[in-house]
Structure 1
Amino acid sequence: MSKIIPQTIAERIIIALDVPTTEAAFRLVDQIPQASFWKVGLELFLRAGHEVIPELKARQKHIFLDLKLHDIPNTVAAACRILANYGVDLLTIHTTTGRTGLKAAQAALKESSQQLGISPVKLLGVTLLTSFSSRELAFDLKIPLELPDYILQMALLAQESDLNGVICSPQEATMIRQACGEEFLLVCPGIRLPSQQKKDDQQRTMTPQAAFQAGANYLVIGRPITQATDPAQAFQTLLET
């Protein structure tokens, strides 16, 4: 897959294939042929990643492999050497893996991609899951920082560790863009249409237009499209919002 250079809003929308089977995945892909970027998450990857990813690539789709790696440096580096073989475009790792682990993962991806003769996978750090609230950060994780301050620190750690960008809620996008510059990729889940009040398990949400204005490069959108009666129409409506 060639270097990602999004030209249209459609190319900046990543649809989440949060489904349990290959059949369900490609039923959805076939329903929205104009969508060019798809997310393969942990559930689908564990069940059928070896089938789904090659088929998506055969269909000339971009792939966001959202596994949220988190382990000791040697283990995340070894995992990245294996995952490089899939030739996906984006891959995630938790920033709480730490500076040594983040650098080891990025180095392994670059080395393996070079050996394979493919474009390097862009490694993105997960700052804080969008299901977390300020209260949970303070009371459950016992982190004494305000939620925005914590997320900014994680983004800066990712940048200092040579990652290509981060996953963050759109509510933190402006702050991170100002601190990390224009070349740093911001990929934002937690997107809801203005007409959708239900947040599901997302705590920090924003509309697509507002998220792009805040500095997001890509938006990851699942249920507002995939659980719609007509996913293709939902995707088109989103582009026009």
Structure 2
Amino acid sequence: MKQAKDYIIFPLDFPSEKEAREYVSLLSGEVGMFKVGLELFIQSGPEIVRHIRDTGGAKIFLDLKLHDIPATVGRAMKRVADLGVTFATVHCGESRNMLEAAVEGSGGNVGVLGVTVLTSVSDQDIAQAGFRDEFAADMSALVMRRAAMAKAAGCAGVVCSGLEVGQIRSAFGKDFAAITPGIRPAWELAEDDQKRVTTPAQAIQNGSDFLVIGRPIRDAEDPRTAARKIAEEIGTVI
């Protein structure tokens, strides 16, 4: 049975493998998954993934946001599938073919997640990027368009903000995973570069399967206690 801590994905957004390893050791029993992003993967490569896997206690979310021609993405996902991670990300971007290539490359050994719209993006950003007015006026319409493309391509789910996860769940059902970044605990909502944020309890109630929670844990005086406190908040609604 899924426990409250299993909903928490902690991003290892550190410039060195040493710092990442320290947090893996500290939080392995307190979170369900560790996210390895571009900065750490460029610094440490597959070795940090192997370390997390060998440490045990938490799964791995490889967040590289692949975005290239379909053949390149497909070959890259084959290499990702060899690493033993649970999820890996691909930008939904412009091409369903790219998503399909990622799914084929995964060989069913890793869940491919389509990244819809980054939580740092605002409606003004969408307008300035040249998207149609309907998407700038209602960013959820763009998220849903890209989620539908990911679903049709065979992706395991999408990364979306907590503000759209309810629509994702209603439209695509329980078997289509929704991973939600931009999470701020009710006790620590603050202004930062995430424009579309929500609390753990709100995101879970709306249908999120996993929550990416970094700063409230990483910057806490006691990260382990902060993770437990967030799990307690999640526990009130599951």
Query: What secondary structure sits across from 2:24 in the alignment?
Result: helix
Find the aligned partners of 1:158 and 1:81 in 2 and give their Cα distance.
18
2:102 aligned with 1:123, yes or no?
Answer: no
Cα drift, residue 71 of structure 1: 0.6
Q: Which residue of 1 aligns with 2:236?
A: none
Aligned twin of 1:3: none
- Residue 172 of structure 1: aligned partner: 164
Matched, 1:64 2:61: yes
Aligned with residue 232 of structure 1, among 219, 224, 227: 224
TM-score w.r.t. structure 2 length?
0.92
Which of 10, 13, 20 is residue 8 of structure 2 equivalent to?
A: 13
Any gaps of 5 or more consecutive residues in structure 2? 234-238
Partners of 2:28 and 2:115 in 1: how far apart?
Answer: 29
Q: Is the 8 A contact 1:31 1:232 kept in 2?
A: yes
Q: How big is the shift at 1:135?
A: 1.6
Question: Is 1:192–1:199's contact at 8 Å kept on the other side of the alignment?
Answer: no
Runs in 1 of length 4+ with deviation above 6 angstroms?
none
> How far apart in 2 are the matches of 1:68 and 1:157?
16
Aligned-partner Cα distance in 1 for 2:64–2:45: 11
Deviations along 1:19-51, one digit per CA (max 9) or x if unpaired, are 111110011122223123100000001110222
Report the count of equivalent residues. Answer: 228
1 CA distance for matches of 2:189 and 2:174? 31
Matched, 1:140 2:129: yes
Contact kept in structure 2, 1:199 and 1:205, CA below 8 Å: no
Mapped partners of 1:141, 1:193: distance in 2: 34
* Residues 1:26 and 2:26 are matched in the alignment: no
Unaligned runs of 5+ residues in structure 1 are 1-5, 114-119
Counterpart contact for 1:177–1:215, Cα < 8 Å: yes
* Percent of aligned pairs with the same amino acid: 38
Q: Secondary structure at the match of 2:198?
A: coil
Q: How does 1:150-189 map to 2 (within 5 A)?
A: 150-189=142-181
Counterpart residue identity of residue 19, structure 1: F
TM-score w.r.t. the length of structure 1 is: 0.91
**Equivalent residue runs for 1:61-140 within 5 Å:** 61-110=58-107, 120-140=109-129
CA contact (8 A) 1:68 1:93 kept: yes
